[in-house]
Amino acid sequence: MSSDAVPTAIARVNPITLAELPLRPELVGEEPYGAPQLDVPVCLNVNENPYPPSEAVRRDMAHEVARQAAGLNRYPDREATGLRTDLAEYIGFGVGADQVWPANGSNEVMTQILQAFGGPGRTLLTFTPTYSMYPEYARNTHTDYVTVPRDEYFGLDAERVLTAIRDVRADVVLITTPNNPTGTATPVAVIDEVCAGTDAIVVVDEAYQEFNDTPEDSAIALLPKYGRLIVVRTLSKAFALAGGRVGYAVAAPAVIDALRIVRLPYHLSATTQTVARVALRHAPEMLARVDELRETRAGMEEWLRMRGFAVVPSQSNFLLFGRFVDRHAVWAEFLEHGVLIREVGPEGYLRVCAGTPAEVDAFQRAVLEIAPHAEMMKVADSEAISSKKHVRTSSQGRS
């Protein structure tokens, strides 16, 4: 057979373009979500735990995965019974395994919540600035998405939340604490008042709760009082398991049953369940690094303030700092210095997460080189909150 008879890769691929495909109307012009993944010496842009699992934890994971491999020809436990039991023990607050539901990252948990309680003709309400994936969850589940601005300090009070719920007739309200990208926390007392004042499903995203100065101040404590409260957490951050993709919801057993209805069969692999259980078994060791990162974040905040930057007080493992007239140009300068941070959040701010001592040192050296010629916003120009009362994004398209 001659080489001419072998089809090339180009010949085997139809030249159809994305514009020619019959996409759902609300997906036309959209791009996949994703923070930049670049090969640079210092990555401080996606709020990861910079410390990998220790050698002892890795050995334990490898041993358990190897043992699990003997049964990979069989489907995993679709109810993730063992993992739910371990998560309940870690969570505390008297939570039982029937109140916990794990999935592939908190992203999947959030999507399942909107599959169960959102959808056509229903509205998700949240408060900006906040996590940029939320409108994607709404869009993908045909849920209307409405946002209301936080206060001038990026905080929330019960009156603001309850007024917004009534104004937009929200079916699901999403409160992120500590909030991404601002790092600000909403007190449990506020969430208590919100739950008491609405029949909506109240979702509290606590992805960064372990980094809070008072991690025990969790909305999970309110679950015995409110059947429509859902608290969402993840192992990606505090447990250094971003690559493992495990998030979980904590709620009333009936809510967990609702999520089980919409979950895909065998949605959480046997390997994922095994790795997560090993991580939980080593929780004290993993959380010791959290204490260190909390101190690192506090030190970075003080260091930036002393050099004249505006810094939003944070209860997470990241900081918003600025405010720059051209934040993209400043972001690019950091990249030139081998430091990748995030261009996200209110205009003029950049976000950096706490890293190892070497990474923080590299970031600070870059700051000292960039700061002298970075043009900063004047106070009058640095208003972070939109003057709009609320912004509605229909499930038929995003504004």
What average pLDDT does this structure show over 122-137? 96
Q: How confident is the model at residue 399 (pLDDT cuts 50, 70, 90)?
A: very low
More confident residue, 146 or 377: 146
The structure's pTM equals 0.91
The vertex-307 CA angle with 301 and 313, nearest 5°, equals 25
Phi, psi of 145 (to 5 degrees): -120, 120
pLDDT, tens digit (0-9, with 9 covering 90-100), for 57-106: 999 999 999 999 999 999 999 999 999 999 999 999 999 999 999 999 99
Please state, in angstroms and rounded to a whole number, the distance separating the CA atoms of residues 341 and 349.
11
Look-up of token digits 């906040």? 130
Comparing CA positions, the residue from 140, 156, 230, 167 lying closest to residue 193 is: 156
CA distance 20 to 368: 49
Average of per-residue pLDDT values in the chain: 91
Would the pLDDT of 380 be above 50?
no
> pLDDT grade, residue 386 (50/70/90)?
very low
Structural domains of the chain in order of their starting residue, each with its CATH number: 42-53+285-381 (3.90.1150.10), 56-282+387-393 (3.40.640.10)
Q: Is the pLDDT of residue 381 over 50?
A: no
For the chain, give the percent of residues with pLDDT over 70.
Answer: 91
pLDDT digits (tens, 9 = 90+) for 151-166: 999 999 999 999 999 9
**pLDDT range class, residue 250, cuts 50, 70, 90:** very high
Q: For tokens 């998030």, name the residue.
A: 247
Q: How many CB atoms are closer than 10 A to CB 139? A: 22
Would you say residue 397 has pLDDT above 50?
no
Which pLDDT score, from 0 to 100, does residue 54 have?
Answer: 92
Average pLDDT over residues 281-288: 90
Which long-range CB contacts under 8 A does 218-221 form with residues at least 24 apart?
Answer: 218/93, 218/188, 219/177, 219/188, 219/191, 220/91, 220/93, 220/95, 220/250, 221/93, 221/188
Instruction: Give alpha helix (H) positions in 228-373.
Output: 253-262, 270-281, 283-306, 327-336, 357-370
**Does residue 6 have a pLDDT over 60?**
no
How much is the average pLDDT of 257-267? Answer: 96
Q: Mean pLDDT across the stretch 175-200?
A: 97
Q: Could you tell me what percent of the chain has a pLDDT over 90?
A: 82
- All residues at 6 or more sequence positions from 186 whose CB lies less than 8 Å from its CB, including other chains: 155, 156, 175, 177, 179
What is the average per-residue pLDDT within 319-343? 96
What contacts 162, CB < 8 A, 6 or more positions away?
193, 194, 197, 198
By the 8 A CB rule, do 399 and 393 touch? yes
At residue 398, the pLDDT reads 35
Lowest-confidence pick of 20-34, 115-129, 221-235: 20-34
* Interval 299-324 mean pLDDT: 96
